[in-house]
């Protein structure tokens, strides 16, 4: 069987499953919308006509009326025309007081609809945590499976209800590694649906990443089939590399599947990870971490030699003047100091966050969070599934350094280090020194070439003359200006971002971070205090101000609770 056919079949299987769930959801939503429209300003008939609609609208007074005065008590224990129970409606729309009333007046907390879903399943669809509490405290079966074997944890993972998932796991001990009828765990489903935050939570809790379903697919296989880059990256970075080698029933590893589906970027990531795991095995890991720093170092050394050899002491140039000579030595001294700064920069801690630095237990902290706190905004992106820490808002995990970095800016391969809170200042200083040095070098070089007396034959151009007569000097000018351009672009970008109090990572991936969005969903940087204050803070402290978030972070929530 060709690999593409295998992939197609898998997609059909998976879509079948998901479509069913989606249709159920759509049906519910349509029904609710219809009910809401009925309840609109138009003189439409009253939407609350029976026990079920009263439950769906959370209208406890009317519900009580139906049950206690109009003999509707029997309806609480039996389904409506579509086979759904009043308790399910109350659960879907998160009305805990209504749910409690229904349970206390004869509603079965474990009643199932035609798909064998219970009220808890419906609560999981919408992430209705409060109602889930009422259900579970009144005897709802946490691990009840529906017709597909989906438990509440599966449904929560399918719909990306991370908070509810965390709640039922931490408070009631739900089994997040449980399997449905096809052998899929909640991690499979979160990977397939592309719910990155849910995946972060599951990986943080050490969910099994190498479990293969009945088709032999791991969660990574599913993520690859959907071509979701963020999810694949998460799974690969937090993984043990073992899942990269596992084959599905068609005999394909995730890498082969990605290549087969034509996800080129994904193929690169997976093939690099496979290579990296090979490299780690044969001690080539150090080589990978060294990045391009040795290349940049050699480049700078060559540049200095060329400068001395072909510009300052070149025998074929006229004698150097005292002023130009002095400037040349300034340039050389600056270049030497730059090399020292370069070395220090590449070795300096950019702001690695280690587990327990904030006095948190790396395993347990999440379990202590009070999620019912109304101020909590649920920034699950603060979980690092690899380091197993809850990190400050603006940090990010660097897969090359294998650490989370505070105020992560970017991993710079040219210095073989991350640029973060603790070395951003040094990075800017290094760039400015680079610009000054190369600018001086270029000025001296230009002066030497320009003042050189030239005798051109009629057919020869000035450029041709210089290239043949002073090849070293021309090469120096070329390499120097190339470096100058690069440094100028980088320094310009850094300066702009410092003025905006934004990191390179935030600028590039702003859509991924919920803290960079305002209530209207558009970009809004809560750390930006205006150009002047941003720059002043950076110049005084050496890093950007990150104290001004308008909401409590996951860590603050933890310390409060
Ligand atoms: Zn990390
Ligand atoms: Zn790094």
Active-site annotation holds for 432: no
Determine the pLDDT at residue 360: 44
Determine the pLDDT at residue 489: 96
**H or E element that contains 480:** helix 471-500
Backbone phi, then psi, for 417, in 5-degree steps? -155, 165
What are the pLDDT digits (tens) for 143-199?
A: 999 999 999 999 999 999 998 998 899 889 999 999 999 999 999 999 999 999 999
Closest Cα partner for 254 from 2, 3, 14, 1?
A: 3
Question: Which three-class secondary structure state does DSSP give residue 390?
Answer: strand
Closest Cα partner for 381 from 395, 367, 369, 368?
A: 395
Which is catalytic among the residues 387, 398, 412, 418? 412
Confidence of residue 20 (pLDDT cuts 50, 70, 90): very low
Determine the pLDDT at residue 392: 81
Q: Which ligand is nearest to the CA of 404?
A: 1
Calculate how far, in angstroms, residue 258's C-alpha sits from the geometric centre of ligand 1.
25
Calculate how far, in angstroms, residue 418's C-alpha sits from the geometric centre of ligand 2.
4
What pTM was estimated for this model as a whole? 0.74
Calculate how far, in angstroms, residue 411's C-alpha sits from the geometric centre of ligand 2.
4
Calculate how far, in angstroms, residue 238's C-alpha sits from the geometric centre of ligand 1.
9
Q: Which ligand is nearest to the CA of 291?
A: 2
Checking if the pLDDT of 29 tops 60, the result is no
What are the pLDDT digits (tens) for 401-436?
A: 889 999 999 999 999 999 999 999 999 999 999 999
Checking if the pLDDT of 64 tops 60, the result is yes
Q: Which ligand is nearest to the CA of 397?
A: 1
Calculate how far, in angstroms, residue 403's C-alpha sits from the geometric centre of ligand 1.
5
Calculate how far, in angstroms, residue 398's C-alpha sits from the geometric centre of ligand 2.
5
Q: How far apart are CA 230 and CA 395, in angstroms?
A: 16
Q: Which ligand is nearest to the CA of 408?
A: 2
Question: Which three-class secondary structure state does DSSP give residue 461?
Answer: coil
- What average pLDDT score do residues 501-522 get? 86
């Amino acid at each position: 069987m060709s690999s593409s056919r295998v992939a197609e079949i898998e997609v059909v299987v998976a879509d079948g499953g998901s479509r069913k769930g989606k249709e159920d959801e759509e049906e519910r939503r349509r029904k609710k919308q219809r009910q809401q429209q009925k309840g609109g300003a138009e003189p439409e008939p009253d939407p609350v006509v029976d026990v079920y609609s009263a439950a769906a609208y959370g209208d406890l007074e009317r519900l009580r009326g139906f049950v206690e005065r109009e003999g509707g008590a029997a309806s609480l224990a039996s389904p409506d025309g579509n086979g759904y129970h009043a308790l399910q409606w109350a659960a879907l729309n998160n009305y805990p007081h209504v749910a409690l009333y229904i349970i206390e007046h004869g509603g079965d907390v474990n009643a199932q609809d035609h798909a064998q879903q219970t009220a808890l399943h419906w609560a999981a669809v919408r992430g209705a945590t409060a109602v889930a509490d009422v259900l579970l405290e009144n005897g709802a079966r946490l691990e009840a499976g529906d017709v597909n074997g989906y438990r509440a944890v599966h449904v929560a993972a399918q719909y990306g209800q991370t908070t509810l998932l965390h709640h039922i796991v931490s408070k009631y001990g739900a089994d997040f590694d449980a399997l449905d009828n096809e052998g899929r765990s909640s991690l499979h489903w979160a990977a397939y649906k592309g719910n990155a935050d849910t995946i972060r939570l599951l990986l943080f809790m050490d969910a099994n990443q190498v479990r293969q379903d009945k088709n032999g697919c791991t969660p990574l296989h599913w993520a690859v089939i959907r071509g979701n880059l963020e999810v694949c990256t998460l799974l690969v970075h937090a993984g043990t590399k073992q899942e990269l080698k596992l084959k599905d029933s068609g005999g394909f590893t995730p890498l082969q599947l990605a290549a087969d589906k034509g996800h080129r970027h994904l193929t690169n990531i997976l093939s690099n990870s496979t290579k990296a795991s090979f490299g780690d095995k044969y001690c080539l890991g150090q080589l990978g971490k060294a990045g391009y720093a040795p290349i940049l170092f050699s480049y700078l050394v060559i540049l200095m030699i060329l400068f001395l050899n072909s510009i300052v002491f070149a025998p074929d140039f006229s004698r150097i003047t005292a002023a130009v000579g002095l400037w040349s030595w300034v340039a050389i001294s600056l270049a030497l100091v730059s090399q020292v700064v370069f070395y220090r920069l590449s070795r300096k801690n950019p702001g690695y966050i280690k587990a327990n630095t904030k006095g948190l237990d790396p395993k347990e902290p999440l379990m202590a969070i009070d999620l019912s706190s109304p101020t909590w905004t649920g920034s699950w992106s603060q979980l690092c599934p690899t380091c197993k820490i809850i990190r400050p808002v603006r940090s990010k995990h660097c897969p090359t350094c294998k650490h989370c970095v505070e105020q992560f800016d970017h991993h710079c391969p040219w210095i073989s280090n991350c640029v973060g809170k603790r070395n951003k200042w040094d990075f800017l200083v290094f760039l400015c020194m680079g610009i000054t040095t190369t600018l001086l070098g270029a000025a001296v070089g230009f002066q030497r070439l320009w003042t050189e007396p030239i005798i051109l034959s009629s057919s020869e151009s000035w450029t041709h003359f210089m290239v043949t007569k002073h090849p070293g000097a021309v090469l120096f000018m070329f390499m120097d200006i190339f470096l100058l351009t690069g440094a100028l672009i980088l320094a310009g970008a850094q300066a702009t971002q410092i003025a905006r109090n934004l990191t390179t990572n935030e600028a590039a991936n702003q859509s991924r971070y919920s803290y960079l969005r305002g209530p209207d969903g558009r970009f809004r940087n809560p750390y930006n205090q205006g150009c002047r204050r941003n720059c002043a803070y950076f110049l005084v402290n050496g890093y950007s101000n990150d104290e001004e978030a308008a909401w409590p972070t996951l860590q603050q929530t933890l310390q409060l609770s």
